[in-house]
Amino acid sequence: MSPTRVAAVVPCKDEADRIAATVRAVAALPAVGRVVVVDDGSTDATAAVARDAGADVVRHERNRGKAAALGTGVAHVRGLERTAGEDPAPLLFVDGDLEGTAAELGVLTDAVLSGEAAMTIATLPAQLTSGGGRGLVVGLARDGIERLTGFRAVQPLSGMRCLTPRAYDAAAPLARGWGVETALTVDVLRAGLTVLEVPCELQHRVSGADWRGQLHRAGQYRDVWLALVRRGWRPWHRG
Confidence band, pLDDT 50/70/90 cuts, at residue 211: very low
**8 A C-beta contact, residue 127 and residue 155:** no
In a domain, 225, yes or no: no
User: What is the number of H-type helices and E-type strands within the chain?
Assistant: 8, 7
Q: Does the structure show a pLDDT above 50 at 132?
A: no
Q: What is the mean pLDDT of residues 175-181?
A: 92
Q: What is the pTM of this model?
A: 0.91
- Report the pLDDT value the prediction gives residue 236, as an integer from 0 to 100: 66
In a domain, 233, yes or no: no
Which residue type does 199 have? P
- Report the pLDDT value the prediction gives residue 189, as an integer from 0 to 100: 98
In a domain, 222, yes or no: no
User: Which residues touch 58 (CB under 8 Å, ≥6 apart)?
Assistant: 36, 37, 38, 39, 72, 73, 76
Q: What is the mean pLDDT of residues 159-169?
A: 97
- Report the pLDDT value the prediction gives residue 128, as an integer from 0 to 100: 62
Q: How many domains is the chain built from? A: 1
| Spatial separation of the C-alpha atoms in residues 152 and 44, rounded to whole Å | 38
The CATH number given to whatever domain includes residue 10 is: 3.90.550.10
Q: What is the pLDDT of residues 6-59, one digit of tens each?
A: 999 999 999 999 999 999 999 999 999 999 999 999 999 999 999 999 999 999
Instruction: Provide the strand spans (E) within 114-230.
Output: 119-123, 161-163, 195-199
In a domain, 230, yes or no: no
In a domain, 182, yes or no: yes
Average pLDDT, the chain: 91
Q: Does the structure show a pLDDT above 60 at 209?
A: no
Q: What is the pLDDT of residues 78-106, one digit of tens each?
A: 999 999 999 999 999 999 999 999 999 99
In a domain, 231, yes or no: no
In a domain, 147, yes or no: no
> What is the span of the domain harbouring residue 23?
6-131+154-206
DSSP-derived 3-state class of residue 152: coil
In a domain, 112, yes or no: yes
Residue 74 C-alpha from the chain's centroid? 12
